[in-house]
Chains A and B, each alone.
Chain A
Amino acid sequence: AQSVTQLDSQVPVFEEAPVELRCNYSSSVSVYLFWYVQYPNQGLQLLLKYLSGSTLVKGINGFEAEFNKSQTSFHLRKPSVHISDTAEYFCAVTLSGGGNKLTFGTGTQLKVEL
């Protein structure tokens, strides 16, 4: 079975600083990878996804992530964060061979400070 690890439960960062949110996965077969964001009192919104092709994936709001198969990682990055990026970020994985079940990590709370 696949699993996702987000080691950082909270990441504080100053506005305009770069940020990286870490995600590692475990699976014996090929996977698709996703990052979702949850703003306060809102649902989960897809930031970006990796299905195949280029390992660098660009998403909404200036975020990008890089798929690294050898390190089984899919870290999320943004070169310059804004206050409005304060939210909970979830990494998720599903098997590429089929099925519709997303397996989520525990989430990382990004807090952007002035």
Chain B
Amino acid sequence: EPEVTQTPSHQVTQMGQEVILRCVPISNHLYFYWYRQILGQKVEFLVSFYNNEISEKSEIFDDQFSVERPDGSNFTLKIRSTKLEDSAMYFCASSGRNIAGNTIYFGEGSWLTVV
């Protein structure tokens, strides 16, 4: 069973610090995503990425956030200056085609705690 892997599994950071969350999507997938889940709340869409550019982003994904695919295997989410309200579980996901054509596979998540 192919899987999406994420690192770190848990990170504690001080407010104002930069954080990079890393993901290795499934190797032949073309669409990449980040979602987040604040404790006790819904899983929320952040951004989708296709063909080396953002294809869609939510209101949450403001200038503090950026995504990058620095090489052929990694997909990263950077939070430039973390705030307390950025504390959440961040899920990376990938799919071979768009949602209707294929399944989105999620990673196990990176739990970010901002103190």
Contacts and interface: CB of A to CB of B under 8 A. Distances in A.
A92 B43 CA distance: 9
The 6 closest A-B pairs by CB, nearest first: A44-B106, A104-B43, A43-B108, A43-B106, A101-B45, A100-B48
B98 A102 contact: no
B95 A100 contact: yes
Nearest to B50: A100
B70 to A, nearest CB: 22
A104 B44 contact: yes
A19 B95 CA distance: 30
B58 A101 contact: yes
B90 to A, nearest CB: 11
Contacts of B43: 44, 90, 92, 102, 104, 107
A98 B42 contact: no
Interface of A: 32, 36, 41-46, 49, 51, 90, 92, 94, 96, 98-107
B109 A43 contact: yes
A38 B44 CA distance: 15
A100 B98 contact: yes
Q: Is the interface of B mostly helix, strand, loop or mixed?
A: strand
Contacts of A107: 42-43
A50 to B, nearest CB: 11
Contact of B100 (A46, A96, A105): A96
B107 interface: yes
Nearest to A94: B99
Interface string B11-38: 0000000000000000000010101000
A98 B97 CA distance: 12
Contacts of B35: 102, 104
Nearest to A90: B43
Contacts of B44: 104
Contacts of B98: 98-100
A99 B95 CA distance: 13
